Structure 1
Amino acid sequence: MSKLSLLDLGFFIAESEASPKHVAGLLIFKRPPKSGAAFAKNLYRDYLAATAVKPPFNRIIQFSLNALPHWRATDHVDLNQHVFFHTMPKGENDRKALYALVCKLHTPMLDRSRPLWEVHVIDGLPDGQFALYQKMHHAYADGITMARWTAECYSNSPSDVELTPVWTQKHGGHGSRAKQELLDLTWKEVTGNTRRFLGIGRLAAMLFLESIKLTKNAIALPFVSSAKTPLTGQVTSGRQFATAGVSMDRVNAIRTRTRSTLNHIALTCLDGALRRFLVDQGVELRRPITIQMPVNLRKEGEKTAGNKIGIIQVELSPPTDDPYVRLRNIGYSLRNVRTMVDSVAPEAIESYTIITGLVAQIAEMLKLSNKMPPMGNTLVSNVPGPKEHLYIRGARMEEMHPISTLPPSNLLNITLFSYAGDLFFGLIATDELPNLERLGTYVQEAFTELEQSVSDAHA
C-alpha cells in the first residue's frame, strides 16, 4: 500500500467527466528505411507481449470509508485494456485528422477500476510515419517526470532495436536506496510543517505588499485577472489540440543577443500571440495577461514519482506593440518571480498551490467559473526534453508534443517542450474556444516579429 500526497490526491478530487486529470504525449515517428508496412502493427503486437508491468503502472487507486485513499498494486494487468492499435484511412490521415483522433482519445477519463494509463499505436500516416499517443493520470507523474520516463525507454541510436516499454521499467528507489528515501521522508514529515508554516507567513506577507502596491512583479495576485475573455470560464468536456514549433537555433540566436532565457522568449511570443488572438475575439486587455506557471520543487537530481510542483501566478508584459520591449518586461518579471520562489520553502509553495487550487475547484464544482475571476488567463508550463533524437526499433522520433490537462476556469493550457533541436508549443483547449489553430499560427508569427525587433534594436 502506498499513500498519496495532498497534491496527488487533489487531482482525483478535482477530476470530472468535463475535466479529466491526465497528462499525455503525442510522439510522431518515421519508419526505418526498408522496413515493411506492418512495422507499427508489429510494434503493437510486441507491446502486448511485454507483460512484466512494474510500478507505478500496476497501481490502482483505492477509496474506502475506513482508510485514506491509497495506491494498491495489482498482480495482473490486462494489456488489452491499456494498449490499442488504430489505422487512419487513406485520404483522412493528414495532421488535422491525427489531431482530431488524439483529441477523441484525450477527452475521456481513465477508468479508475484499473491502472491509470494507456498507449495507442496510430498507423497509416503519410510518408511512412506512425504515431504513439500515451496518457497517464496526473497523480502518477507530473509533466517533467513523464517526459523523463518516456526518454528513458527509447534508444539514442537507430542500431539499438531492443524494445523497453515504459510500463516494464521500475520507476523509483529499491533496496538500500528505498530505505534511505523512507528515512528522508520521515525527516521531512518532522521538519516540513515548520518550514511550511514559516514559508506561508513569508509568502502571505509578499502577497499583501503586492496587493497594496508596495511591490511590483514579485508574484501576481490570484483571482484578479480579467474575467471576461474567451480563454476562461466553466470547463466543459470535448477537446481540441494544436501545435506550433520553432527551431532551437533561432531561439538560441535571440538568447545570445538579448541575454534572455528560453522561458523569456517563449512567453514573449505567447504574450503577443494571445493578445492578437483576443483582439480577433473583440477583447483588448489594458492590463498584463496573467498566466499560471508551474514551478518544479524537486531538488537537483531528485527523481521521485508523483507530483512535486507548485503553481504561481505571473504577470506578463503591459500592452505594447514592440516585441523587444515585451521581452524586456517579461524578463524583469520572471527574474523577480524566480528570486521570490527561491526565498520561500517549497512546502509553502505547495500549500499555496493547494489552497488557491481548492478555491478555484470549488467554484468550478458549483459552476461559478463563468462568474468568478479566474486564477489567471491561461496556464503555461515548460518541460525540457531530450536534446538528441530518440529511436524505437530504428524508427526515429521526429516530433514530441505534450498534451496536458485543463485547470479550473481555464479553457486553454499551453505546454512548451524542447526536443532534438526544436521548441514545440502544445495547445490543448475545450471545444468552446474558437480558432485554436489560428493561435498556433500567431505564435510562430510572433516569434518572427520578435526576431526582427531584436535585430533592429541591435543593428
Structure 2
Amino acid sequence: MNKLSLLDLGFFIAESAASPKHVGGLMIYKRPAKAKVSFAADLYRELLTFTDVKPPFNRIIHFSLTGMPTWQESETVDLAQHVFYHKLRRGKNERQDLYDLVSELHQPMLDRARPLWEMHVIDGLSEARFALYMKMHHACADGVTMMRWAAESLAVTADDHELRPLWSVGRRPNKKRLQQLEEEMTSSLLSDLAGAGKRMLGIGRLAAMLLLESVKLTKNAISLPFVADGNTPLTGQVTPGRQFATTSLSMERVNLIRTRTRSTLNHVALTCLDGALHRYLHEQGIDLQKPITIQMPVNLRKEGEESLGNKIGIIQVELSPPTDDPYVRLRNIGFSLRNVRSMIDSVAPEAIESYTLITGVVGQLAEMLKLSNHLPPTGNTLVSNVPGPREHLYIRGARMEELHPISTLPPGNLLNITLFSYAGQLYFGLIATDELPKLGELSLYIDEAFGELEKAVLDAHQPVA
C-alpha cells in the first residue's frame, strides 16, 4: 500500500463530474508502408493480450474513514475495461472529427472502482493514419512522468517491432530510490523537525515576497494570486463539456529566435501565447489594461528523481503589459520569468508545495460553492511545458507524427494550455469547456503571433550594410 501525498489527495478532493482530474495525450501515427488496412485493429487486439499489468497501472484508490487514502494493487485487471477501439467512418475522419471524438473521451471521470487509466485506439483517419489517446488520473502521475512512460514504451527505430504497452512495463522505484525511501521512513524526530523548520522558513520568505509585491516595493518577484482580471471568458465556473484544439511551431524557427534574442523556449512560447490571448480577447470585445496572469506548474523533483505521483508547484506569473510590439513583449516576459526563477531558487521546494496547496484550496472552495463566476480567479489561465523526445518514436513500425498534450482544468479556469516538444515541433494543446467561444481561432492566433515575433526579431537583427 502507498499513501497519497497531500497534492495527490487534492486532485481527488477537487474532482467532480464537471471538472474531472485526469491528464492525457493524443498520439497520431502513420501506418507503415504496405501495412494492412486492419493495422490499427490488429494492434488493438494485440494490446489486449498483455494481461500482466504492472504498477502503477494495477493500483486502485482506497479511501478510509480513519486515515489517508492509499493505493492498493489489484491481482487482476480486465483490459477490456481500459483499452478501447473506435473507427471513424469515411467522410467523418478528418482532423476536426478526431478532435471532437477526443474531446468526448476526455470529459468523463475515470471509474474509481478500477485502476485510473484508459487507452483508446482510434482507427480510420484520413491519409492512412490512426491515433492512440491515453488518459490517466492526475493523482497517479503528472504530465512529465506520463510522457516519460509513453516514450519508454515506444521504439526509437521503425525496425523495432517489439510491443511494450505502458501497463506491461514494471516501474517500481530503482535501488537508489528504494534506499532513499527507506532513509526517509527511518528519519529521526530531529530530522522531521528540521524539515518542518525548513518548510516554515521557506513559507515565511515566500510570504514576505508576496507582501512586498502587494505594496509595490518589488516588481514581479512573484505575481500575486487572485488579482487577475475576472471579466474575461477565460475564467469562471467550470462546466461539463470539452473542446480541444492544437497548433504547432517549428523548433528550428523557435530556436533561431532564441539564439538571436538570448531567450528560452518558455520566453518565446509565452510571448506567442500572450499576443494570441490579447488578440482573442480583443475579438471578444475585451481590451485588458493590465498584464495577463498565468498559473505555471514548476517541476520540484531533484535531478534524476523518478518518483511516482506528483512533485510540482503552481505559481502565478505576470506576462507583458499590453503592447503592440512583439519584441517588447518578449523582453517583458523574459524579465518576469527571470525574477520568478530567482524566487523559486531562493525558497525550499516544500514552501512552493505549501503555497500551491493553499492557493489551490481557496480556488477549489470557490468552485465547490459555485462562486467562481463572482470571485477573482487565481490566474487567467494555466500554461505548462512538458519536454519530449527529440527524435521520432514508433509502434510496430508505425511512426508517431504528432503528440498533443491534453490536460485538466484548474478551478476557475475555462482554458488550459500545455506545451510539448517532439521531433522538431513545439505543440500547443488547448483544452477548454464548451462555453469558451471560438477556441479554434485562438490556436490560429498563436501561429500569427509567432509570425509577428519572428519578423520583429529578424528585422531587428538585420546585418548592417
TM over 0.5: yes
Match of 1:444 in 2: 447
RMSD after superposition: 1.1
CA contact (8 A) 2:317 2:340 kept: yes
Corresponding residue of 1:110 = 110
> Distance in 2 between the 1:131 and 1:213 partners?
50
Q: Could you say what secondary structure the match of 2:48 adopts? A: helix
1:179 Cα deviation (Å)?
A: 3.5
- 1:408 pairs with one of 395, 408, 411: 411
Q: Which amino acid aligns with 2:157?
A: S
Give ranges in structure 2 of 5+ residues lacking alignment: none
Do the aligned partners of 2:296 and 2:314 also contact (CA within 8 Å) in 1?
yes
Q: Could you tell me which residue of structure 1 aligns to residue 60 of structure 2?
A: 60
Aligned partners of 1:417 and 1:138: how far apart in 2?
17
Indicate which of 281, 284, 305 corresponds to 1:281: 284
Partner of 2:80: 80
- Which amino acid in 2 is paired with 1:218? A
* CA apart distance, 1:427: 0.2
Change (3 A) 1:186 1:339: farther
Equivalent in the alignment of 2:432: 429
Unaligned runs of 5+ in 1: none
Tell me the distance in 2 between the aligned counterparts of 1:172 and 1:301.
15
Quick one: percent identity of the two aligned structures? 70
> Deviation digits for residues 145-199 of structure 1, max 9, x if unmatched?
1110110000000000000000111223155752433214554755432211110
1:88-127 matches, cutoff 5 A: 88-127=88-127
Residue matched to 1:385:
388
Does 1:320 find its partner at 2:289? no
Matching residue of 1:243? 246
| 1:367-398 deviation per Cα after TM superposition (whole angstroms, max 9, x unaligned) | 00000000000000000000000000100000
Under a length normalisation based on structure 1, what TM-score does the superposition of the two structures give?
Answer: 0.99
| Superimposed CA distance per residue, residues 239-293 of structure 1 (whole angstroms, 9 cap, x where no aligned partner) | 0000010110000000010000000000000000000000011110000000000
Q: Give the Cα separation in 2 of the matches to 1:236 and 1:185.
A: 41
Deviation for aligned residue 1:50: 0.3
Residue 149 of structure 1: aligned partner: 149
Residue identity in the other structure for 1:2: N
Q: CA deviation at 1:67?
A: 3.0
Stretch moving more, 172-181 or 212-221: 172-181
Residues 1:364 and 2:362 aligned together: no
Is residue 211 from structure 1 mapped to residue 214 from structure 2 by the alignment? yes
Tell me the residue number matched to 1:17: 17
Contact 2:177/2:307 (<8 A) preserved: no
Aligned partner of 1:182 in structure 2 is 182
The offset of 1:68, in angstroms, is 2.0
Cα 1:254–1:192 shift into 2, 3 Å: same
Partner Cα separation in structure 1 for residue 268 and residue 287 of structure 2: 22
Tell me if the contact between 1:60 and 1:113 (Cα under 8 Å) persists in the aligned partners. yes
Contact 1:240 1:429 in 2 (8 A): yes
One-letter amino acid of the structure 1 residue matched with residue 440 of structure 2:
E
CA distance in 2: counterparts of 1:452 and 1:177, whole angstroms: 48
Q: CA deviation at 1:65?
A: 1.5
Look up the equivalent residue of 1:446 and give its one-letter code.
Answer: A
Match of 1:334 in 2: 337
1:197 aligns with: 200
Report the counterpart of residue 130 of structure 2 in structure 1: 130
For residues 328 and 387 of structure 2, what CA distance do their matches in structure 1 show? Answer: 26
Determine which of 285, 288, 293 is the counterpart of 1:290: 293
Question: What is the SS of the residue equivalent to 2:133?
Answer: strand
Partner of residue 305, structure 1 = 308
Contact preservation (8 Å) 1:403, 1:428: yes
Once the two structures are superposed, residues 76-101 of structure 1 have per-residue CA deviations (whole angstroms, 9 ceiling, x without a partner) of 10000000000000000000000000
Q: Deviations over 1:49-92 (max 9, x none)?
A: 00111111100011121232111111010000000000000000
* 1:158 counterpart SS class: coil
Which moved further from structure 2: 178-187 or 64-73?
178-187
SS in 1 for 2:373: coil
**C-alpha contact (below 8 Å) 1:172/1:303 kept by paired residues:** no
Q: Secondary structure at the match of 1:127?
A: coil
What is the number of residues matched between the two proteins? Answer: 459
3-state SS of the aligned residue for 2:246? strand
Whether contact under 8 Å (1:173, 1:181) holds in the other structure is no
Q: Which amino acid aligns with 1:196?
A: R
Moved more, 181-190 or 358-367: 181-190
Deviation at 1:34, TM superposition (A): 1.0
CA distance in 2, matches of 1:434, 1:176: 49
Q: What SS does structure 1 have at the residue aligned with 2:127? A: helix
Aligned residue for 2:398?
Answer: 395
Distance change in 2, residues 1:186/1:197 (3 Å): farther
